[in-house]
Amino acid sequence: MADRYDPTQAEERWYRVWLAAGFFRADPASPKKPYCIVIPPPNITGSLHMGHALDNTIQDILIRWKRMDGENALWVPGTDHAGIATQYVVERQLAAEGKSKEDLGREAFVARTWKWKEESGGTIIRQLQRLGASCDWDRLRFTMDPGLSRAVREVFVRLWEEGLLYRGDYIVNWCTRCQTVLSDLEVEHEERDAQLFYIRYGPLTLATVRPETKLGDTALAVHPRDRRYAKYLGKTLEIPSVEGTIRMKVVADQAVDPKFGTGVVKVTPAHDPADFEIGRRHGLEVRQVIGFDGKMNARAGQYAGLDRFECRGRIVEDLERLGLIEKIEPYQHSVGICYRCKTVVEPLVSTQWFVRTKPLAAPAIKAVRSGKIKIIPRGWTKTYYHWMENIRDWPISRQLWWGHRIPAWYCDRDGTVHVSRTDLVRCPECGGPLRQDDDVLDTWFSSALWPFSTLGWPKSTPELERFYPTSCLVTGFDILFFWVARMVMLGLKFMGDVPFHDVYLHALIRDLEGQKMSKVKGNIIDPLDLMDAYGTDALRFTLAALAGQGRDIRFGEDRVEAYRNFANKIWNAARFVLSNLEDYNPAVARAGEPALADRWILSRLATATSKVRKALAAYRFNDAAGALYQFVWHEFCDWYVEAAKLTLYRSDSPLARTRTQKTLVEVLEATLRLLHPFMPFISEEIWQRLRHQGPTIMLAPFPKARSKDLDRSAERDMAVVIALVTAIRNIRGEMRIPPATTLRAVLKPATPRATRLLKAQAALIQALARCDVTVDPRAARPAASAMTIAEGVECFVPLEGLVDLEAERQRLAKEIKKVEEQIAFLQGKLRNREFKAKAPRDVVEREKGRLTEQRTIREKLRVSLGRLGSAR
C-alpha cells in the first residue's frame, strides 16, 4: 500500500464495479421496508455546482445508510427540461449561426432542442456519478419523457374538469427579453435608486417613479376619507399635459395611502398590478402604452417606438418645459427583475392560464400541521404556512416553444375551447378547424408531479404502490415555494396522499465573504475541481460536516484539505493494521481476554456508532461527521493504535498480540462501514483488502451499537491512563525536553484501586509517555522534580540535570493559578444558600466534590512549589 491515499483510480474503479453489479437497483417486489428519495431534478443545461454537490451528497448518505441498514432503498434520478434556460441556450447557438428560432419554425426548433438535449443534457448525470451518487440509474427520468408528459396532460385535464384551471386576462410579470410571462416567484426584487417625480395634474399634484406610464393613465385616485380631495371625487378634470389636454376622472380607493407623496395617484391599469386592481374595482379602461418588447406602442403618440426608460427621460423633459414638474426627489424602491436574465420586469396585461391554488393549499397546510409532513429544520414550517395561507393563483402558461404544450384547442368558428388528453383536430362542437394553444406550461408544473410521475403515474405501477409516499425530500430552502409546496398540493390532489414524509431543507453555499457564487462575480468554486484536487470522499465529508448550519454555508477550500488529510489518516491507520496481520489467526484470537485498551476502544466505538445513528436519524449530518472524525482520529489513531504498538512490537505474549490484531481489525472494519455513507470510495477500497463478508461494503450491515461493548469501568480506567500520559507529556513540552529523552516518572496513587490499575498499565503509560514509570503509593517526592496531579494521582518527574528548575516553578505557579480560579468559582457557587436549597442535589454534590478535589490539588501543588524553592 502506498503511504498516501490516491483517490483518483479507486473512485472510478469502484463506481464501475457497483454500477455493473447492479448494487444501486431497487426491487419493488422486495419484501424489505421501502425507503425512497426522488432527486430534485437538475436542469439539463446545468453542470454540477456546489449546491448540487451538497444536495446529492446528503441524499446519497441517507440512501446508502438505509440500504446498508437493510431497507429497500430507491433513489430515483432524473433531469428537468428547464424551459427558459434550455430555450435560451439553443437560441444562442442559433444566433451564432445568424439564425433565429422563427427562421427554423416551431417544429424544427423543438427538434433541434431535443437533439441538443441528447448530446449535452447528460453532463450533469455523469457528474453526479462522479460524486458517487448511488441512484437507480435504470430509472432515469426526464420531465418531457412520454410517461411524464402523459402525467402532465392528465393533471391539466383533470384540473380543468374540476374548475381549478382558468384562462383570463390578467396583469402579469412580463420579461421583455425572454418574451414570456413569469410567476411571482420568478421575479426577484432589488432595491434601486430612483427619482420620485411630483407632477402637476391640473389642480392636483401627484408623485410617481414611472412618468412614462402616464400615457396609459385612465383615472386619478385618492383615499375615500381624504378630506383634502373630497371635493374632486367623481369629477372629471381637464388636465394640460404633454399630449395636450386630457380628461381624468377622480375615484376613491382604499389602496391609496394618504400619507404617501401627495395622497393622489395616477391609475395605469395596464402597467401596474395595484392600478390593475383599482381599475377593476372602478371599471376603468385598460390602456396599454408599452408593448411586449418594452417599447412604447402606437398609443403613445409622439413617444411611440421609444424604449420605456428612454421615454421616461423624454417625458420628464417635456413636462419640465411645460412647467408641470413641481419637484424631483431622490427615491429608493424595489424593482422586479427576471430571475433568469435580470431584465426589469414589465407588468403587462395578457391572456394566461391560471391554477386556482386556494382549494389546493388548504389540504397542503393541513398535511404539515397534522405532522404527516415534517419539515426539517422546524423553523421553515412557519414560512411555509405564511406563504400557503396567502397563496395567489399560479400563472402556468409560458410563451416558449420548449416544454409541454398546453393541451387546449380553440375553435375560431364557434369560439369554443377544448381541453383534451388526446390531440384534437376538429372541433367536437361544430367540426371546424382547431388551433392548439401556442404556449407551453411552466417547468415547475411538471416538476410538481415529480414524486409520482417518476414512479409511473397515471398508470398504476408496483413502484407507486411500493414507494409512494416517498420517505424524504432533500433540497435547498430557496425552492420551498417553487417546488416543495407545489408538490405537496398536487401530490395530495392526485395521489390522495402526501408526496413525502420528511422534507430536509439545507443551507445555500456561499463563498468565504458570504457572497452567492456566480459566474459574473467569478467566485465560483467548482466541485469537480475539488474532487480532482482532494478526492470525492474529502468533498463529501466536508459537505456533510458543513450541513448542519443555518441558511448559509461559507465555503472555504481549506476545510476540504483538512478532510483530505482525514481520508489519508484513515488510509494510514488501515495500512498500519494490514501490515501487522500476516500471522493473524482469528480462531486463536477468540481465546484471548481483552486488555484495558481493547475494552476501551470497543466501548468508544459503540458510543460513536450510536452517535452516528442518532445524528443521521435527526438529519444532523454535521454531528455524524464530527463523531466519526473524533472517533477515528482522536480515539482510534491517537490512542488505540499507539497502545497497540506496545503489544504488537514489545509484548512477549503471542496471545496479547493476536488479541490486539483482532481488536484492530474489528474496529477498523466496523469503522469503515460507519464511514461508508459519507466516504463510499475509500471505505470500499480498504474494506476489500480486509477479510470481509459479502461482495461490497455497500451491502454490508450498517453497524449497531452493542450494549455489551459499553464498558464504563474501562472508560474510567483509560481516562486515568490518558490523563497521566497527557500530564507527563505536558511537563515534557513545557520544560522543553526533547521527545527523544526518556524521562522517569514516579506515580503516587491515592487508592488501592488506582494502585492496581497503574501497576497493570505501567507498561502502557511508559510507552505512550516515553518514560520509565515507578508506581508507589508511599512515594516521597524526589528532589528537583516536576510535579503534577491527574485524576487524583500525583506524578513526579525528576528533572535533575535536565532543565532549569525556574521553568518548573513558573509552570507550577501557572497551574496553581488555574486551580485557584476554579476554587474561587466553586466557593462562590456553594456559598450561595439558594443554590444549595434549590439546585438538584446531584448538582450540589458534584460541585462540592469538585471543590474538595481542587483544594487537594492546590495543597499538593503548593507543597511542591515550596519544596522547589527550598531545594535551591
Partner RNA sequence: AGGCUCGUAGCUCAGUGGGAGAGCGCCUCUCUGACGCAGAGGAGGUCGGCGGUUCGAGACCGCCCGAGCCUACCA
Contacts with 582 (C-beta within 8 Å, 6 or more apart), sequence order: none
Which residues between 798 and 857 bind RNA (CB under 7 A)?
814, 822, 825, 832, 834-835, 837-840, 843, 850, 853-854
3-state SS assignment for residue 361: helix
Residue with cell 375615484: 251
Closest separation between CB of residue 329 and RNA, Å? 11
Which DSSP string do the residues of 697-737 spell out, in sequence order? Answer: GGGSPPP---GGG--HHHHHHHHHHHHHHHHHHHHHHHTT-
Nearest approach in angstroms of CB 612 to RNA is 14
**Interaction residues for RNA, span 629-658 (CB under 7 A):** 629, 633-634, 637-638, 641-642, 645, 649
Regarding 386 and contact with RNA (CB under 7 A), the answer is: yes
The β-bridge relationship of strands 374-376 and 500-506 is parallel
Helix (H, G, I), strand (E, B) or coil at 80: strand
The residue among 341 and 843 lying less far from RNA, judged by its C-beta, is 843
CB 321 → RNA: shortest distance, Å? 22
User: Quick one: cell of 17?
Assistant: 464495479
> 19 vs 533, which CB is nearer to RNA?
533
- According to the binding rule CB under 7 A, does residue 729 interact with RNA? yes
Q: Does residue 81 touch RNA according to CB under 7 A?
A: no
Binding mask 412-431 for RNA (x = CB under 7 A): --------------------
DSSP for 350-414, written as a single string: EEEEEE--HHHHHHHHHHHHTTSSEEESTTHHHHHHHHHHT---EE-EES-SSS-B--EEEETTT
- Residues in 310-349 that interact with RNA by CB under 7 A: 333-334
The most distant pair of C-alpha atoms in the chain lies apart, rounded to whole Å, by 118
Q: How many residues does the chain have?
A: 872
**454 vs 661, which CB is nearer to RNA?**
661
Q: Which stretch binds RNA (CB under 7 A): 69-77, 233-241, 555-563, 798-806?
A: 555-563
> Shortest Cβ distance from residue 376 to RNA (Å)?
10
- Answer yes or no whether residue 383 interacts with RNA by CB under 7 A: yes
Choice between 77 and 347, CB closer to RNA:
347
Binders of RNA among residues 97 to 156 (CB under 7 A) are: none
Write out the binding residues for RNA, residues 473-502 only, by CB under 7 A.
478, 481
Residue linked to cell 382558468:
166
CA atoms within 13 A on the CB side of 793: 33
Q: Which amino acid is at 473?
A: L
State whether residue 192 is helix, strand or coil.
Answer: strand
The correct pick among 205, 622, 755, 856 for binding RNA (CB under 7 A) is 622
Cβ closest to RNA, residue 229 vs residue 452: 229
**Cα(451)–Cα(8) distance, rounded to whole angstroms?**
35
* Residues within window 248-267 making contact with RNA, judged by CB under 7 A: 255-258, 260-261, 263-266
Closer by beta carbon to RNA, 260 or else 428: 260
Q: Does 772 bind RNA (CB under 7 A)?
A: no
Complex with RNA: residue 106 or 814, whichever CB lies closer: 814
680 in contact with RNA (CB under 7 A): no
Q: Which of 485, 441, 491 is nearest to 470 (CA)?
A: 491
| Cβ atoms of 253 and 224 closer than 8 Å | yes
Q: Binding marks (x or -) toward RNA, 227..246, rule CB under 7 A?
A: --------------------
Rounded CA-CA distance 386/498 in Å is 19
Please select the residue that binds RNA; options are 579, 693, 707, 870, rule is CB under 7 A: 579
Interface of this chain with RNA, residues 201 to 220, rule: CB under 7 A = 206-210
Q: How far is the CB of 558 from RNA (least distance, A)?
A: 4
476: its cell numbers: 435547498
Q: Which is nearer to RNA, 112 or 614 (CB)?
A: 614
Which among 132-140, 269-277, 487-495, 790-798 is the span making contact with RNA, rule CB under 7 A?
Answer: 269-277
Q: Least Å distance between CB 202 and RNA?
A: 16
Identify the residue among 558, 582, 593, 652 touching RNA (CB under 7 A).
558
Does 193 help bind RNA (rule: CB under 7 A)? no
* Per CB under 7 A, 617 contacts RNA: no
Radius of gyration over every alpha carbon of the chain, rounded to an integer in angstroms: 37
Considering Cα of 307, then 309, then 314, then 319, what sign does the dihedral take? positive
Measured from the CB atom, the residue of 216 and 291 that comes closer to RNA is 216
For residue 705, which of 602, 618, 610, 631 has the smallest C-alpha distance?
610
Looking at residue 237, its amino acid is: L
Termini Cα distance of the chain: 55
The binder of RNA chosen from 145, 154, 184, 526 (CB under 7 A): 184
Residue in 94, 274, 286, 581 binding RNA, rule: CB under 7 A: 274
CB 795 within 8 A of CB 787: yes
The DSSP letter of residue 548 is T
Shortest Cβ distance from residue 128 to RNA (Å)?
A: 25
CB of 570 to RNA, least distance (A): 8
Binding letters toward RNA, positions 10-49, x by CB under 7 A: ----------------------------------------
Among 379, 694, 701, 866, binds RNA (CB under 7 A): 379
Number of residues lying near RNA (CB under 7 A): 97
Closest to RNA by CB, 466 vs 510, is: 510
CB 581 within 8 A of CB 661: yes
Give, to the nearest 10 degrees, the angle between helix 654-675 and helix 596-617: 10
Distance CA 632, CA 639 (A): 10
Side-chain-side CA neighbours of 79 within 13 Å: the count stands at 22
Tell me how crowded residue 351 is: count the other CB atoms within 10 A of its CB: 13
Least distance (Å) between residue 739 CB and RNA: 4
d(CA 829, CA 850): 12
Amino acid at 783: A
